[in-house]
């Protein structure tokens, strides 16, 4: 049985979308990842899509969604990736464990194109390292066909 993770952010346009992409990649089929926001932007940030594509993860088909779309579901883990989401997201009674990983908001940087891209890449890499470390330290669910 797959473990389920929900990644929450305020806008669900960048950090949580990137984290969902990494969880799907690094979870190696053992995790089902979803993301949502308390005040969804209604789109996935183009620089989030671009910087994830640079490393071979396609999040073009992802969409920004409200936490209400996932309320009532059970999750093994809920991860908030911004302070506002930690403060504003409701208690999810179906969540077995909660973590808070506050990452800078790359969409809040308003400089030139180079500065914005650098910020998205830095935050992307920080999220990747956190997800990879967590997934590699988590026991993998046993599969019926694995002989275990």
What pLDDT score does 4 carry?
Answer: 94
Per-residue pLDDT of 30-50, as tens digits, reads 999 999 998 999 999 999 999
Per-residue pLDDT of 109-119, as tens digits, reads 988 889 999 99
Per-residue confidence band for 132, with pLDDT thresholds at 50, 70 and 90: very high
Please tell me whether residue 46 adopts helix, strand or coil conformation. Answer: helix
User: In percent, how much of the chain has pLDDT > 90?
Assistant: 64
Integer Cα distance of 10 and 27 in angstroms: 24
What pLDDT score does 1 carry?
Answer: 84
- CB of 31 closer than 8 Å to CB of 23: yes
Query: Among all residues, which ones are annotated catalytic?
Result: 9, 82, 89
Global pTM? 0.87
Q: Spell out the residues 6+ positions from residue 123 whose beta carbon is closer than 8 angstroms to its own.
A: 14, 15, 18, 103, 104, 105, 106
Annotation: CATH topology of 3-137: Rossmann fold (3.40.50)
Per-residue pLDDT of 66-102, as tens digits, reads 988 988 888 999 999 987 655 655 566 667 888 999 9
Per-residue confidence band for 144, with pLDDT thresholds at 50, 70 and 90: very low
In the chain, what are the domain boundaries?
3-137
Enter the tokens of residue 93: 């009674």
* Average pLDDT rounded to a whole number, residues 59-71: 92
What pLDDT score does 140 carry?
Answer: 57
């Amino acid at each position: 049985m797959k473990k389920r993770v929900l990644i929450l952010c305020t806008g669900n346009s960048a950090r949580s979308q990137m984290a969902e992409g990494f969880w799907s990649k690094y979870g190696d089929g053992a995790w089902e990842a979803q993301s949502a926001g308390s005040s969804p932007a209604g789109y996935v940030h183009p620089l989030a899509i671009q910087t994830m594509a640079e490393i071979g993860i396609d999040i073009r088909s992802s969409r920004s969604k409200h936490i209400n779309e996932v309320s009532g579901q059970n999750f093994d883990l809920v991860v908030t990736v911004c302070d506002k989401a930690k403060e504003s997201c409701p208690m999810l009674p179906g969540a077995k464990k909660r973590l808070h990983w506050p990452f800078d908001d790359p969409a809040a940087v308003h400089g030139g194109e180079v500065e914005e891209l650098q910020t998205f890449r830095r935050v992307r890499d920080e999220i990747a390292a956190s997800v990879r470390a967590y997934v590699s330290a988590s026991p993998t669910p046993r599969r019926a066909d694995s002989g275990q």
